[in-house]
Amino acid sequence: MKCLHTLSRVAVALFASVLVLCLGCAKPAEEATGVEPAPAGSKGSDEGPVTIVEGTPLIWFVDTDEVAQLRSDMQEGRIPTSCNVLYDQSGTLPDVTVTDPDTIKAIYELVQGMVVPESGRAMSVTDSYHHVIFTLQDGTRAAFNFEGVHNLYWDGKNYPVANDDGLWALVRQLQDEQIAGSSSVEDGVYHIALEASDDRLVSSCPTSARAGELVTITTAGMADAELILKVDGIRLRPSNGMGTEFQFEMPDRDVTVTVSYRVYPGGA
C-alpha cells in the first residue's frame, strides 16, 4: 500500500513537470496567430499618438482632431457633405465645391494615398496656395493645405509630399469643368485656360477676355533660362525688354496658354 502511494505521488509530480514545460514553450497568442498590433492613432483621438516616420501617410501625419474624425467617418461610411478644392495657379483658377459622394470619395482616396517621405523644413517656396477641405456631416472641417504642389503646409512648416499627382490632376479637371460650364456675363467673352510646367512661372494671367481684347500675361524673371509661352500652340514673343510680359489679341473662342522654360546652355 505504501509503495502504491509513493508511485501516485511520483506520477503527479511528473505530470506537473510536463505541464510547466508545455506552458513555457507556448507562444503568445498575438505571435502564434500572426496578429499585427493595431496602428498608432492620432492626437486628439482615442487611438493613441502617431509616430512620425519616413513614408507616413498624409492622413496620419496631419494629426488633428478633425482629420481623425474624417478617417473615422470614412471608415464607417459617413461621406462628407462637401469638399472644397483649389489648385491655385497664381490666383488665376477658381476653387470648386464638390457635393457628389462618389467624387468626394475619389478625392479622399487620392489624399489617402499621399505620403510624407521627409522631415519638414520651415521655408516659403511659392505664392501659390492649394487646399483640400472636407466638410463632415456634423459641420466639422478637415483641411489639408499646400504651398505649391508637392509641399504640405502644416503646423507652421512645409513638408514634401509624394504620390500627389493624381490628386492635382483631378482638381484641375474639376476646375476646367467649372470654367467651361460657367456662363459669361456678356456675349463675346471667352475663357483662357493656363497650363504651366511650374506654377511659379506666371505672376498674373486673366481667366477670360472679350474677342479682340489685348491680353497681357506677366511672368517671373529668369536669368538662366528662357520662358516659352504659347497660345493654342502659337508662340508669343515678349512685349517688354525684361522678357516678363507677353501679349496677344483674344480670338473669338476659348484658348489655352501654355508656359514652360528652357535653361540656357551652361545654366544651372
According to DSSP, the β-strands at 255-263 and 189-196 are: parallel
Mean pLDDT for all residues in the chain: 76
- 6 φ/ψ angles, rounded to the nearest 5 degrees: -65, -40
Number of H helices, E strands in the chain: 6, 16
Q: At residue 66, what is the residue type?
A: E
The pTM of the full predicted model, rounded to 2 decimals, is 0.53
Each residue's pLDDT tens digit, 184-226: 445 678 888 888 877 778 888 888 888 899 999 988 877 777 8
Alpha helices in the chain (DSSP H): 2-25, 29-33, 58-61, 65-75, 101-112, 165-181
pLDDT at 180: 75
Q: pLDDT exceeding 70 applies to what percent of the chain? A: 71
pLDDT at 119: 59
Q: Helix, strand or coil for residue 81?
A: coil
Pick from 197, 194, 165: nearest CA to 262: 197
Please compute the mean of the pLDDT values over residues 62-75 and round it to a whole number: 95
Query: Over 70: is that where the pLDDT of 234 sits?
Result: yes
pLDDT at 266: 66
Q: Which CATH architecture has domain 56-171?
A: Sandwich (2.60)
Separation CA 53–CA 113 (nearest Å): 16
Choice between 135 and 151, residue whose per-residue pLDDT is larger: 135
Domain boundary assignment for the chain = 56-171, 185-263
Query: Over 80: is that where the pLDDT of 157 sits?
Result: yes
